[in-house]
Amino acid sequence: MPKIVDHDERRRELAQAALTVIGRSGLEAATIRAVAEESGWSTGVLKHYYADKDALLRATLREMERANMARFDAAQQQPNAFDAIAAIVTEILAADAAEARLWIAFTARASTDPEIAGLMRHAIDVWVTRWAALVRRGQSDGSIRADLDAEQVAGEIHALVNGLRLRHQFRPTPGNPVLLEHLRTR
């Protein structure tokens, strides 16, 4: 009886291995060989799923964003939207150094790789849309001022979180209180 392979699961597994390599050693270290070694699969298996390193990196970025959105969804299960935003921000800023390196590496790569840049733009749009939905929820539940422009606040949250994440990579400080105080006093 032939073995049934879940190809989507295998792609996720290979992308996770790439995330591990990148988080540990940087984007340039994520060669097909290094990712194959990390995953426990042969380079032939990787090449079956990904034609080249660029295809692997695009899939890896998508996997990173899929995992981030799952964490976003889990963290927003709070009694009100402000608490949900606080939980999500705390989750993002509590990420380990390897995860911050992933985000920084893909952000840098986007400056020279149009396909990665397109994926990053899409990810930003998704994040801002989700933040805006939470802000509107907060305006409905009374935890966020109703007179604020939800899209503008969402953009500010996104920019502040990314700035704090970048700063934290080089000078770790608790950023969550800074962001939450900004939101409270808006």
158 close to 124: Cβ distance less than 8 angstroms = yes
pLDDT digits 0-9 by tens, 148-175:
999 999 999 999 888 888 887 777 766 5
pTM of the shown model: 0.84
pLDDT digits 0-9 by tens, 61-109:
999 999 889 988 988 888 899 999 988 888 888 777 778 888 889 999 9
Domain 7-185 belongs to what topology?
Tetracycline Repressor; domain 2 (1.10.357)
Q: Please name the amino acid found at residue 48.
A: H
Output the CA–CA distances (angstroms, integers) from residue 112 to 64, 65, 115, in the order listed: 20, 20, 9
> Where in the chain are the domains?
7-185
